[in-house]
Amino acid sequence: MAKSDMLGESLWDAYSDKVTTLMNNPQHQGEIFEAEAQERGHKLIVADFGAESCGDAVRLYWEIDPKTDTIVNSKFKSFGCGTAIASSDVMTQLCIGKTVQEAVKITNIDVELALRDDPETPAVPPQKMHCSVMAYDVIKKAASLYMGVDAESFEDEIIVCECARVSLGTLQEVIRLNDLTTIEQITDYTKAGGFCKSCIKPGGHESREYYLVDILKDTRKEMDEEKMKAAADAGADGDFTTMTLVQQIKAVDAVIDESVRQFLVMDGGDMEVIDIKNSEENIDIYIRYLGACNGCASSSTGTLYAIEATLKEKLSKNIRVLPI
């Protein structure tokens, strides 16, 4: 089939040569029948899985030697797009020669990587990554039928990004350890959200229980609350005026992180605490604006007032904020 008959030229370029070849010439498409498997003393497993989001479906055949649990032969039938055919074909090839216990460890990322022409270039456009996820899911279904367990038992974590197989716990840990503040940073560190993008926020290709925007927001909130508590605990009784200079700076940074910094960053700016000086009447906090905030007219009026009002409310009514 000519590429002009299948996809527009620009979209076609997003597919690897392996994918386009297997779309037209799959190597493992077909059926395995019960009688022939029995003749060889093997057990036949037939698993079906369908993706509600796109209407594609795949049937996977495993011929298994029950003495060793080894998949000696495998075929598939795909009812869907060309990408589903290519993904299913590679998935089937990856299963042959493995034990059932080994095959269930094959992920959609393994399938997608096997479809690449080179290690650095994705094999399919992001919106087609779900096809390799479907291949992963039908493997779990086949393994569950053979082992007599629930397919969900193979998942011991909540998976947020199906495309990259990134769990909720991993995302929370990466955000904390690396102090991440944006979705782009999360994608750079974990690959979550880098494919079909359904896990980033509502309204994507598939609805999700967890979204990166909410995980980032909730985790950052927990981190800020922990900073505030740690800063308060460091003082004699949580009173800002009795804290040491280091404790005061930490407390101020915690309030800024929780209530102010995100708004500055949205406008391309930021700020840092330079010094804190205590007098009988006031606690003067000296700050420096960074990025777009430096030189902005609002930095000495509305923005400054908002920062000072927040610190007064959270820490001490005697605070004054002075930009330098």
Q: Which residue has the tokens 């006031």?
A: 282
Q: CA–CA separation, 317 vs 283, rounded Å?
A: 9
The single residue of 54, 196, 199, 293 carrying the catalytic annotation is 54
Q: CA–CA separation, 273 vs 289, rounded Å?
A: 9
Q: CA–CA separation, 252 vs 185, rounded Å?
A: 25
Closest CA to 323 of 299, 297, 291: 299
Query: Which stretches of the chain are DSSP H helices?
Result: 3-6, 9-12, 17-24, 34-39, 82-95, 100-103, 108-114, 130-147, 168-178, 183-190, 212-234, 245-259, 261-266, 302-314
Closest CA to 133 of 173, 90, 87: 87
Residue 81: active-site member: no
Residue 95: active-site member: no
The single residue of 95, 131, 161, 196 carrying the catalytic annotation is 131
Question: Of all helices (H) and strands (E), which one includes residue 71?
Answer: strand 70-79
Q: Exposure pattern of 19-40 as b/e (b: 16+ CB <10 Å)?
A: bbebbeebebeeebeeeebeee
Closest CA to 93 of 45, 26, 39, 149: 26
Q: Characterize the bridge pairing of strands 57-65 and 43-50.
A: antiparallel
Q: CA–CA separation, 307 vs 324, rounded Å?
A: 14
| Tokens coding 108 | 């959609």
Q: CA–CA separation, 47 vs 141, rounded Å?
A: 6
Amino acid at 186: I
Q: CA–CA separation, 22 vs 122, rounded Å?
A: 16
Catalytic residue list: 54, 131
